[in-house]
Amino acid sequence: MDKTLVAFQNAAIHQNIHNQVLKDVNFSIDKGDFVYLIGKTGSGKSSLLKTLYADLPLLEGEALVCGFNLRTIKKKQIPELRRKLGIVFQDFRLLTDRSVDKNLEFVLRATGWTDKVNIKNRIEEVLTKVGLMNKGYKMPHELSGGEQQRVAIARALLNDPELIIADEPTGNLDPETSEEIIDILYNLHEDKAVLLATHDYELMKKFEGSTLICENQTVIFHRLHPSEV
């Protein structure tokens, strides 16, 4: 089975039809990879991520993400693609009017889960993975920022995605909490892949990974080989 989850070839990334932000984009991400996405503000990182999860259309070149061709993907296929992705944002995006358990149940029901026992078991599984097994009854405002981000990671794991995309997940957190969050993500990458956009170069020294650098309107990919770890 092909272990390549993401493959971009000669792609150009656009914010809109008339605004190209990256060109000659060539890289691949395989199952088991942990990849940092870095670059200055305005270098195209967010546009690249939005293209990956089909929020922006790919207008030039080729790209496959978890078996979907981004040049030919139809609107009705986008939810199918996103079920294979776990997306974690900087600002948590939790539903503030319901508990942690109900936040997670909402996502499962929205993606086709119906059996109450299966839903309960899956919620317990993902909360255990992020170290929040006893916090399901709490409301988001009762949690620290780090705990809210753990819930966001648990939410991203619900449908067992092939690729986790984390967009500045530690941007609102203190250094110690940031390290805990990256540690959780790092421990997930062996049976999936993780693409992590960050400005925190200190954390990059602690957790080895490949690097995608957005600069000069293109992407430079440095793949970390096993011998480098």
The tokens of 11 are what? 């792609």
- Distance of alpha carbon 127 from alpha carbon 208, whole angstroms: 25
Which CATH number does the domain housing residue 13 bear? 3.40.50.300
Tokens of 89: 């944002």
Q: Is residue 8 assigned to a domain?
A: yes
Q: Which two tokens stand for residue 162?
A: 């092939």
Confidence of residue 100 (pLDDT cuts 50, 70, 90): very high
The pLDDT assigned to 229 comes to 42
Arithmetic mean of pLDDT over the chain:
93
Domain total of the chain: 1
Question: What is the pLDDT confidence band of residue 2, given thresholds at 50, 70 and 90?
Answer: low
Is residue 120 situated within a structural domain? no
DSSP secondary structure code for residue 141 in this structure: G
Give the mean model confidence (pLDDT) for residues 110-130.
96
Asked whether residue 185 is assigned to any structural domain, the reply reads no
In a domain, 227, yes or no: yes
Rounded average pLDDT over 31-43: 94
pLDDT at 147 over 70: yes
Residue 199 in 3-state DSSP? coil
- Per-residue pLDDT, averaged over 23-43, amounts to 95
In a domain, 121, yes or no: no
82 closest CA partner among 162, 148, 190: 162
Give the domain extent around 41: 1-84+195-201+208-229
Mean pLDDT on 107-121? 96
pLDDT at residue 216 is higher than 90: yes
Report yes or no on 229 lying in a domain: yes
pLDDT at 172: 86
The span from the CA of 140 to the CA of 99, in Å, is 7
Question: Please, which pLDDT band fits residue 227 given cuts at 50, 70 and 90?
Answer: very low
**Average pLDDT score over residue span 48-68:** 96
For residue 224, being part of any structural domain is answered with: yes
- Please give the average per-residue pLDDT across 69-78, as a whole number: 96
Given a cut of 80, whether residue 1 has pLDDT beyond it is no
Banded pLDDT at 17 (limits 50, 70, 90): confident
Given this model, what pLDDT does residue 228 score?
A: 47
Q: 51 lies in a domain?
A: yes
pLDDT band at 180, cuts 50/70/90? Answer: very high
